[in-house]
A and B are shown apart, each in its own frame.
Chain A
Amino acid sequence: MSEPLAEPTTAQAVVDVAVVYAGDYVNKMSGQRIERECLTRMERGCRALVINFQDTELVNSIGVSILLGVIDAAEQSGTRLAFSNVSVHTLKLFELLGLTRLVVLADSEEAALATLEEFSATPPGH
């Protein structure tokens, strides 16, 4: 089902779902890379996105702001967004700053994909 991309460490497309891998430190540079990747997927019609934080140890303020921007862009384009594999430390920060209210959270990438598929199977209005 998955379809590896040219840069498999960055993102992996799964039909109309894409998985974007955040690096170990989400700051301005890596945040912009995540943002670019997500926006490109959305522009290409992807309507479900997972950002996998499995390697992420730290997210700084610029990283948080960029993620909030990605959340906005996903909302505007009708793309479902999930964060997966978020460490306890990062999860706490996301909670305090309100990000967890805006995205689907999953322990693993598979769980995130399953959740997004569930959503997509639900007919509109339900």
Chain B
Amino acid sequence: MSDSTRMVLHAFAALADLGEEIAETSDFEEMVRSALHVVLGTMGIRRGAVAEFDRGTGVLRFVASRGFGDTHPAEVNLPRKSREGANGNGNGDGSAPYAHALQDYALVEHEIHERFHEAGVEVVTPLVVRGELVGVILLGGKASGVAFTQEDRELARALGRHVGVGLHNHRLLREVERRAEENQKLYETMKGSYKDTVRAFAAAIDCKDKYTQGHSERVGKYSEIIAREMGWGDEEVEAIAIGGYLHDVGKLVVDRDIINAPYRIDAKQSSELNRHPAAGYEILRPIQHPFADIPLMARYHHERPDGRGYPEGLKDEEIPPGAKIVSLADSFDAMTTDRPYRRRRTFDEVVADFRRNSGKQFSPQVVVALCRALLKEARGETRPRQMMRLLGRDYVPEHTLPALEQLIADLESGAHLTTAQASGPA
């Protein structure tokens, strides 16, 4: 085999190796280091470097270097003369100053060569992809001591095209990542604005009812805690919190005097008040919520598993799970806050109500989740103690915990049904 055939075979094999290395995208710097190795090993060169060109700033940043020690800086700023090319044909509008400008690559070669000649750089190969400079390869002398031939330079350019594609792909990947990050930030900002709007709405709803200040916010919090206890995912928990905040939005269309009546309202007024779930649904339905089912939570938060709720009298399985949670959170807050015509219930009374109404007014699984969350907070097993903060530190006394535990056990085993049937009407 002749020497030239041997070198051609070695170069072909190197091109194949380079292709493999360029395909490695998980570690960009390692990819460039390997690519540099391929170039140096193909021609037997002891020193070399690969620099990436930032068209936005005109800076060449060295990504991989071998054999130069500390003789070159980490970055090099290309002077405008080189950046804009010999013909001075830069954009001139400052929008993308180097996108179309670097057409005279000989000038770039010359500029780099001038700067690095003393460091032993003999060949500079600009890396150009689709007419755009993406970087350069700097090569020191050959280990053989033989001067670079025209064929060597051609080979360096051929290898450089592959390396350039690697740099270009990395640049595209970074651009995609940057845009994805921007979109994510934008989405978070919009979600933040949405939540602020929802809170403002909740405050507006609660303002209408002078006796239930903060009710919507508390229902949102309780709903969130219950859903988390039931193992719902982060997105679903966020959604249910919003559902809790907005569940009473329909009250905005109900007469303020009915909402604030300091006495038991009559049938007509009650019918008017009972319009609020359907009205809430109509208000929320046209809005593009980032979460599904929020209008349904408002519509069905007064439905009951026994079918005696409103507006549609749905039965257990027909009621959306989110609405069941909001329903219990709503009732729990009503039981545990003072109203003008009654004081709030004791925790014993709340537990008794849960026992009596599980399976009738409330979904037993949802009651279990709320009770478990309460039990964990009361025992200090979860931090922060969000519910205790809302209820007051001493609201759940130590002596009530066994009853709470028993309720959970009965609901989980179905024993409450037997008790309810036994105590029900003959």
Chain B CB within 8 A of A15 CB: no
Binds B, one of A38-46, A48-56, A92-100: A92-100
Q: What separation, in Å, do the CA atoms of A27 and B16 have in the docked complex?
A: 13
23 residue pairs of the A-B complex, CB under 8 angstroms, read A28-B34, A61-B17, A61-B18, A61-B40, A61-B42, A62-B21, A65-B36, A65-B38, A65-B66, A68-B41, A68-B46, A69-B67, A71-B46, A72-B67, A96-B44, A97-B44, A98-B44, A98-B144, A98-B146, A101-B143, A101-B144, A101-B145, A102-B143
Cβ-defined contact, B14 with A61, below 8 A:
yes
Cβ-defined contact, A65 with B40, below 8 A:
yes
Cβ-defined contact, A97 with B37, below 8 A:
no
Cβ-defined contact, B7 with A96, below 8 A:
yes
A72's contact among B10, B17, B46, by CB below 8 Å, is which? B46
**Smallest CB–CB gap between A94 and chain B, Å?**
9
Chain B CB within 8 A of A64 CB: yes
Q: Which B residues lie at the A interface, using CB under 8 A?
A: 3, 6-7, 10, 13-14, 17-18, 21, 34, 36-46, 66-67, 142-146
Cβ-defined contact, B3 with A28, below 8 A:
no
Known: A61-B37, A65-B38, A68-B143. Contact between A99 and B17, CB under 8 A? no
Cβ-defined contact, A65 with B37, below 8 A:
yes
Cβ-defined contact, B37 with A62, below 8 A:
yes
Apart from A65-B41, A98-B143, A101-B144, what are 8 other A-B pairs with CB-CB below 8 Å?
A61-B14, A61-B41, A65-B66, A68-B143, A69-B66, A98-B44, A101-B143, A101-B145
Q: Which A residues lie at the B interface, using CB under 8 A?
A: 27-28, 60-66, 68-69, 71-72, 92-93, 96-99, 101-102
Cβ-defined contact, A96 with B14, below 8 A:
no
B30: nearest residue on chain A (CB-CB)?
A: A28
Cβ-defined contact, B6 with A60, below 8 A:
no
**Smallest CB–CB gap between A87 and chain B, Å?**
13
A92: nearest residue on chain B (CB-CB)?
A: B6
Most chain B CB atoms below 10 A, which of A60, A61, A93: A61
Q: What separation, in Å, do the CA atoms of A99 and B145 have in the docked complex?
A: 10
Q: What separation, in Å, do the CA atoms of A93 and B132 have in the docked complex?
A: 36
Residues of A within 8 A of B34 (CB): 28, 62
B41's contact among A64, A72, A92, A101, by CB below 8 Å, is which? A64
Residues of B within 8 A of A27 (CB): 17
Cβ-defined contact, B41 with A93, below 8 A:
no
B44's contact among A68, A69, A92, by CB below 8 Å, is which? A68
Residues of A within 8 A of B18 (CB): 61
Cβ-defined contact, A60 with B144, below 8 A:
no
Cβ-defined contact, A64 with B67, below 8 A:
no
Residues of A within 8 A of B46 (CB): 68, 71-72
Q: What separation, in Å, do the CA atoms of A68 and B45 have in the docked complex?
A: 8
Q: What separation, in Å, do the CA atoms of A50 and B143 have in the docked complex?
A: 20
Residues of B within 8 A of A66 (CB): 37, 41
Cβ-defined contact, B142 with A98, below 8 A:
yes
A63: nearest residue on chain B (CB-CB)?
A: B41
Residues of A within 8 A of B67 (CB): 69, 72
Q: What separation, in Å, do the CA atoms of A17 and B400 have in the docked complex?
A: 80
Most chain A CB atoms below 10 A, which of B7, B34, B46: B46
Q: Lowest 7 CB-CB distances: which A-B pairs, in order?
A: A97-B44, A98-B144, A98-B143, A65-B41, A61-B41, A64-B41, A61-B14
Known: A96-B3, A96-B7. Contact between A62 and B41, CB under 8 A? yes
Cβ-defined contact, A99 with B143, below 8 A:
yes
**Smallest CB–CB gap between B65 and chain A, Å?**
12
**Smallest CB–CB gap between B35 and chain A, Å?**
9
**Smallest CB–CB gap between B167 and chain A, Å?**
18
A68: nearest residue on chain B (CB-CB)?
A: B46
Q: What separation, in Å, do the CA atoms of A71 and B40 have in the docked complex?
A: 14
Q: What separation, in Å, do the CA atoms of A92 and B37 have in the docked complex?
A: 20
Q: What separation, in Å, do the CA atoms of A65 and B7 have in the docked complex?
A: 15
**Smallest CB–CB gap between B185 and chain A, Å?**
39
Cβ-defined contact, A60 with B3, below 8 A:
no
Cβ-defined contact, A96 with B144, below 8 A:
yes
Residues of A within 8 A of B145 (CB): 98, 101
**Smallest CB–CB gap between A75 and chain B, Å?**
10
Residues of B within 8 A of A99 (CB): 44, 143
Cβ-defined contact, B17 with A60, below 8 A:
yes
Q: What separation, in Å, do the CA atoms of A96 and B41 have in the docked complex?
A: 11
Q: What separation, in Å, do the CA atoms of A50 and B276 have in the docked complex?
A: 89
